[in-house]
Amino acid sequence: MFRSGAFVADHISPTTDDQVQPNGVDLTLDVVFEQLEPGRIGRDGKQIGDRVARPLEELEQKAPDTYYLPQGAYVARYSERIEIPDGHIGFVYPRSSLMRNSCMLNTAVWDAGYEGRGEGLLQVHHDVEIARGARIAQIVFAEADHEDVYDGSYQGENLD
Ligand SMILES: O=c1ccn([C@H]2C[C@H](O)[C@@H](COP(=O)(O)OP(=O)(O)OP(=O)(O)O)O2)c(=O)[nH]1
């Protein structure tokens, strides 16, 4: 069973009322990275290729700060601290307005026990402007059995 947005919101911070949806919580864009060097996925480990944060553009004095993203693939970091409670699994979906603008957010599984400010693959199929802090995704929680909790290398990532 999927949990209510109000339940999810208790595990996402910070959140404002307008981020809380009936079945999930909207996530906002913090930083966009561009990968510079190849990474590696091995049989016994992995390495994330070097990356650089994209510059924020002052597009016609637009506030807040806005990213202008040419067609390409980027890694987007969410602003919110996400905690997946025991007995649950998380899924992130793109905001449909991204899709309708020829962009897509690809995501993986969010494991029970994970805490951090995670990332997603932002595919830009047509140039787009996205303001920092804009809502780009929605996270939902489903109840799920598990034996262990997440204890991998991304545990606690990007928390200050
Ligand atoms: O789209 C996603 C999906 C998951 N995560 C977070 C939550 C998840 O619990 C963690 C690790 O994901 P996964 O287990 O798929 O990563 P891995 O490559 O297998 O790394 P590890 O070996 O550390 O588990 O990354 C994201 O940031 N973005």
Q: What is the pLDDT of residue 102?
A: 98
Phi, psi of 67 (to 5 degrees): -90, 135
One pLDDT digit (tens) per residue for the chain, 160 residues: 999 999 999 999 999 999 999 999 999 999 999 999 999 999 999 999 999 999 887 666 666 699 999 999 999 999 999 999 999 999 999 999 999 999 999 999 999 999 999 999 999 999 999 999 999 999 999 999 999 999 999 999 999 8
Q: What is the pTM of this model?
A: 0.95
- Ligand 1 centre to CA of 121 (Å) is 12
ipTM of the complex: 0.97
Three-state DSSP class for 111? coil
Does any ligand 1 atom lie closer than 6 A to the CB of residue 80?
Answer: no
Does any ligand 1 atom lie closer than 6 A to the CB of residue 149?
Answer: no
Q: What is the pLDDT of residue 160?
A: 80
Residue nearest to atom 21 of ligand 1 (CA): 152
98: enclosing H helix or E strand: helix 96-100
Residues 121/106, Cβ–Cβ less than 8 Å: yes
- Ligand 1 centre to CA of 129 (Å) is 27
Residue 113 zone, left/alpha/beta (φ > 0; ψ -120 to 50; rest): left
